[in-house]
Amino acid sequence: MGEDHPDADLHPEATGLAAATVKAHSAEHPLKLHSGWFCPFVQRVWIALEEKAIAYQYIEVNPYHKPESLLKLNPRGLVPTLQYDNKPLYESTVLCEFLEEAYPNYAPQLLTEDPYERARTRIWTDFVTSRIIPAFHRFLQHQGTDGLEVKRDELLGYLKQFTREMSPSGPFFNGPEFQLIDIIIAPWALRLWVFDHFKGGLGVPERGKGGEDEEVWGRWRMWLEAIEQRKSVKETTSDREHYLPIYQRYADDKAQSELAKATREGRGVP
């Protein structure tokens, strides 16, 4: 895309704790993560790399000024793109599973060996991609007040459905261990504050005020607090102020990312 792309004027690099992570992975390395610091799909893969302490090189890309080096690897020019032995791989969920399979001796294990649990992880990964993320964007990009409550209730309903599948004891989805399914949804959970800023709040009840849903929202809060305190999550998150202009464009329904356009056209995650 050209220099005049409307989304191209964004903060050029990671900030806060994420900036230190970028600096620690700036040296040349055969495993290269082509990233956009702000992108939630990137953050999935970035968290997985940090969790497993896999050595890699971080390469910042403005996906609206696509460099030729990225287009040669991924014709769609999307991030995250992983360069592994000079071969390209992309799609964030695929990349997370690839890291688990390609680096089996790196702890922690993000997927169990149990085939049932692996299948269940894939079911709820698909739920995040096909239900939660589109509902997140339908609510964020909705204009005006007519129908806004419907969009809010849709997202809240999907979050409750997801939470009811969590182990009762927690704190993570499957229990005490931080795993792939936690990584898959974490970037969007971390960004739910955008609704307080732009859409009058998401409406998750305060502690003790959830009525008949108090138990499920209590479990959601336990999970979210554990996610927010996870070292790999904190160290791949930039300062909130720099996300604001990006999400302002979504909230105004002016963003031109592939995801924004797909949402506008009533399609799912591209």
Catalytic residues: 39
* Strand ranges of the sheet holding 57-60, from the earlier edge strand across to the other edge: 57-60, 32-35, 81-84, 87-90
Q: Please identify which residue in the block is written with the tokens 């220099």.
A: 3
Distance CA 205, CA 83 (A): 43
What b/e readout covers 158-176, taking b as 16+ CB neighbours within 10 angstroms? bbbebbeebeeeebbbbee
Distance CA 210, CA 208 (A): 6
- The candidate with the shortest Cα–Cα distance to 61, out of 26, 109, 27, 13, is 13
At a CB cut-off of 8 Å and minimum separation 6, what does 95 contact?
44, 45, 48, 80, 82, 89
Q: What would the two tokens of residue 94 be? A: 């695929």
